[in-house]
Every structure is written in C-alpha cells, then in structure tokens.
A and B are shown apart, each in its own frame.
Chain A
Amino acid sequence: MNAKGFVHKYGDNVDTDVIIPARYLNIADKKELATHCMEDIDTNFVNVVKSGDVMVGGFNFGCGSSREHAPMVIKESGISCVIAKTFARIFYRNAINIGLAIMECPEASEKIEAGDEVAVDFDTGVITNITKGETYQSLPFPAFIKEIIQAGGLMSSIKDKQ
C-alpha cells in the first residue's frame, strides 16, 4: 500500500467544523458534500486538489465533532493520505473505519511544506519528501488496525468474521 502526491498544508487543531461545516450535514451525497471540504479555512482547496494529493496538519488534526463526514469528504476529494503530528481520537477511528490512510509523524509535519511532492509507504511507515530529498519515519499501524484497513474498512471486517 502506497500513496504519492502533492501537499496541502494546514496548522494545528484543524477541526471537523472547518473540514466540513455543519450547515452542509443535511447533504447525503458524498460528492456534493466534498465540494465544501475545507471551505471555511481554504476556499481554494476544492479547486486545486488532485487525486492522490496528501494533506498535512499539525497537532490534534480532526478535533471536535464525531462527524464521519469529515474523513469522508477528505477521501472523496481525492486525498490519499493525511499526515499530522497527532490526530484527535474520533477522527483517527473514523479514518481507519472508512479506509482513509492517516500517519502520525511530527517530523514530517514540521518539515513538509505546501506544494512538496511526497510518497508514503504504509507497510514501512516511511514518508519520502521527493521535492526536498528527505525521508521521515512514522510508526506503521498495529496489526489489528491493518486488518481493518485490508478488509476495506470496519463493516467489511466484521462481515468477514460472521
């Protein structure tokens, strides 16, 4: 499992209200929802994001509401991986459960800049900054979580067990 793309970078405490404002939570269609991804802090994101791109945040990424719409719209926008120093715990669970790749790596979060091209190897946890010629080591997922991701998300994994 790998990801490769250009970086969209944000700061600390990116909350789920800015990832997808509650005023749009009456929208059921994922594609329509995704047209509002990040709009309260970055109106241009949806215009410039390309499939495979990588999102980078600081501490406590995804804090606030439990809305699964947040990782859902990031994934729907084409983002292949979110890298942050730390993730808020409900966002962390939600991302795994719906199959959005996330990596905790403070060094990568510090050094990667907006627009850098990065590649992520999910098996080894190595993040390569192609633009800067640097690599950063993050912790790979524990086996239990890898199982969920490999099954294609939580629902498929529990269905497999039944």
Chain B
Amino acid sequence: MGMTMTQKILAAHAGLPEVKAGQLIRAKLDMVLGNDITSPVAIREFEKEGFTGVFDKSKISMVMDHFTPNKDIKAAEQCLQCRTFAKRFDIDNFYDVGQMGVEHALLPEKGIVAAGDCIIGADSHTCTYGALGAFSTGVGSTDMAAGMATGETWFKVPEAIKVHLTGKLQPRVSGKDVILHLIGMIGVDGALYQSLEYCGEGVASLSMDDRLCIANMAIEAGAKNGIFPVDETTIAYMEGRVNRPWTAYEADPDAEYVRTIEINLSEIEPTVAYPHLPENARPISQVEDIKIDQVIIGSCTNGRLEDMAIAAEILKGQKVADHVRCIVIPATQQVFQDCIDLGYMTTFIQSGCAVSTPTCGPCLGGHMGVMANGEKCVATTNRNFVGRMGGITSEIYLASPAVAAASAIAGKIADPREV
C-alpha cells in the first residue's frame, strides 16, 4: 500500500519504512513554535517538570505577535516571560517587536521552515507551512513544552482527502476564495483528523501567497494539516531563504485517500463566509446588501505582499466610506517595508485606512480593531466565531483582501470585480 505525502514525511521522521493511517508514532521535530499567548503556558509546564535544557536551540521559534506591541500590563508580563526564557536558553529564532511579524507569515519568509520538515506549533494555524510541502500542525502548549524538551512528539497518522485542482483563478479571485469555497463544501469538521492533500494541474497556477493562505485555513475544516506538492514555485520561493537541505516528498501513485474533491479554479467566484462559522460560505453573487462598520486587511491568512498589492490596486484613487474604519496590517516588517517601497502605504493612507505595525491583534479580538456589540466587519482573517473580534453580537464576514478593499470603499460587502 502506498503512502500519502503526509504519511511519507511522518514515516521519515519516525524512522520507519512505512506508516499506516491510524498508527500512533513518535516523530522527530524540525521546528517547535510558540507565540506570546501559548508560550507562557508551555514555559510554565517546562519549568514545573524541572527541565534544564532544550533539545536544540536552533529548532525552536518564539514570536511575540498576538497581543503585541503589548496591549496591556498582563500582556507585557507574558512577553517578558517569553523573552527571559529565550535569553536563558539562547533561542535562535526569538522574534520581538521591531523584528517580529505574524508568525505564519514570518517563518516562511525568513526561511525557517522548509519542504519536508516535520513541524509543530502551539498555534492552530501552524498548518500554514504545508504550502511549502512540509508536515506542519497546530498543537497545545504542553505539546510545545514536551517538544522543546525532547525534540519529539506523538502523532496519530492521518487519513487523507485528495483535493484535485484544475483550471486557473479569475482576476481578483485568490487563494482565500478557494479555501472558503472548500470549507463551504465540506464543513468545519469535513476533514476532522485528516490531511488535505492538494494536487492536479491547477496547483501550478497558484502563487506561494495563495498556497500559504489555503494551507493556513486547513484547520478551519478540522484538518490536521493541508499540504501542497513541491514544484518550481516552491523551489523559487525557498531559494535565498532556506539555508539548509530540504526534501521534496511525493505521494505514492497508489496512496489511499478517503475521498477525492474536484475543484475547478476557473469557476470560483469571490467568496464570503457569513457569521458565525467559516463553513457559511457564499459566492459574492449570493451575498445580500450588508452594511459594514469595519474592514480588517491582514493576519496570518492574508497579510502578505500579494494581499497588500490587490488591496492597494483597488483602493488607489478611492476613499474608504465615511462610516467604515479600514485597518490594514502588513503581516511582517518586510511586507511593511515593501508596501512603502511600492507606494502601497501612500495609497492606504490617502484612501483613509489606518495602518499598523504587524500584530495578530484584531483577528482574535485582542486590540487594534475590537468591535462594539452589533457592529459588522469584513475581515481577511480566518475565524468568524461568536465574539471572536469583540462584542458577542458583533459579526465577522470572512473574505479575501480584494473583497475587503472593495467593501471598504462601498461601505457594504462588495464584489471586487465591479469597482
């Protein structure tokens, strides 16, 4: 019996010639990640058990991105705890304010994660790195603590869903629309405990930013991971970033999948997920008149350069509607710098957007765009749960940066192909 791409990576990291779905394994880790919210809990567990060393200081990343720049005293204390730990163990990849970015935009950009890696992160969107052909999955803080101590963790080998892509995206349609469409098809638990393995000739037409966005939201379908094959686009992206050997794994031709989903990229419309679940996806043609109060463009899902580029293209020469607060958050310092160099910042500011240093802030209702009860937001983030971005009667409509920018101008949810 052949193995899926995910199973091959897991077998290699478990030192086994073969693994099967359902098998419990111990796997070696290439990277263990945490942020300013999850690391403090991990550090507490690590210290409580009396560990005095980490397995490899070059294979741990800590990124201060959630409640930073510190939103209050308690958040500052949590960052201080991380900083102290990172200094004590001389952690190579500790990213603080001024260098940090939203973790899942930052790590690929810096070349810290690569094809063929086995990665865990105490953040559910750690699945993002599947875009590079890595096995990468979100875990909790205790898993992070154990991973930092031993360099290993336990996994149940997942079954897989094959997502076969054909066609090519239409202008102003992006990876976000693809993943919202897919979650709409299979539901928020449609891939529970399983891998989403993308394949087909449609993959080649997707940019790395599209793939990172699609892999990022695998968790929103309940998946353990989402993974893309390694192709020319992947290799071009890793060149000049990744300074160590990496491995391209391929699924066996006779690998077993629990089901195959066909998606023709050419047929996907801009897509919006209604409150309060990402599965409430609707093509923009079926979206009613929904007046909005706020727009967020950013996050680990959509804070990369292509996201900024399409938002700037749509906002150029336009004004954000009077009753709308539009907040743009480039996900990393590099993306921020590129936005300046390419003139996007001028566009954002002249059109009436607020621009922020990198932070996860508003996505999880932390700071930098918390909503009052009853308010509505179009967000390029990944979750629209009850109370996620503020008051429990506030509403989040998930969409692409193109839809978000068009909506900011229109003051209501709008089709980016019509502005």
A, B bound: yes
A69 contacts partner chain B, Cβ-Cβ < 8 Å: yes
B226 to chain A, nearest CB (A): 13
A90 touches B188 (CB 8 A): no
Contact size range, A: 35 or more
Q: Which residues 7-53 in A have Cβ within 8 Å of B in the complex?
A: 13, 15, 17-18, 21-23, 25-28, 40-41
Q: Given the complex, which residues of A lie within 8 Å of B146, measured CB to CB?
A: 97, 154-155, 158
A133 contacts partner chain B, Cβ-Cβ < 8 Å: no
B368 to chain A, nearest CB (A): 13
Chain B CB count within 10 A is highest, among A59, A66, A98, for A66
A68 contacts partner chain B, Cβ-Cβ < 8 Å: yes
Q: Given the complex, which residues of B lie within 8 Å of A3, measured CB to CB?
A: none
CA distance A153 to B49 in the complex (A): 11
B265 contacts partner chain A, Cβ-Cβ < 8 Å: no
B72 touches A68 (CB 8 A): no
B140 to chain A, nearest CB (A): 4
Q: Which of B33-41, B85-93, B321-329, B343-351 contacts A (4 or more CB under 8 A)?
A: B33-41
B225 to chain A, nearest CB (A): 10
B41 touches A69 (CB 8 A): yes
Chain B residue with Cβ nearest A60? B189
CA distance A162 to B124 in the complex (A): 29
A66 touches B124 (CB 8 A): yes
Q: Which of B73-81, B107-115, B170-178, B312-320 contacts A (4 or more CB under 8 A)?
A: B73-81
Which residue of B71, B140, B364, B388 contacts A93 across the interface (Cβ within 8 Å)?
Answer: B140
A88 touches B141 (CB 8 A): no
CA distance A35 to B240 in the complex (A): 49
Q: Which residues 58-78 in B have Cβ within 8 Å of A in the complex?
A: 66-67, 71-72, 74-75, 77-78
A64 contacts partner chain B, Cβ-Cβ < 8 Å: yes
A94 contacts partner chain B, Cβ-Cβ < 8 Å: yes
* Chain A residues at the B interface, C-beta cutoff of 8 Å: 13, 15, 17-18, 21-23, 25-28, 40-41, 59-60, 63-69, 71-72, 86, 88-90, 93-94, 97-98, 142, 144, 153-156, 158-159
Task: Report 30 cross-chain contacts, Cβ distance below 8 Å, ordered by A residue.
Answer: A13-B277, A15-B386, A17-B387, A22-B366, A22-B388, A25-B37, A28-B44, A40-B386, A59-B189, A63-B189, A64-B124, A65-B383, A66-B122, A66-B138, A66-B140, A68-B41, A68-B122, A68-B141, A68-B142, A71-B140, A86-B189, A88-B192, A89-B193, A94-B143, A144-B154, A154-B142, A155-B46, A155-B146, A158-B49, A158-B146
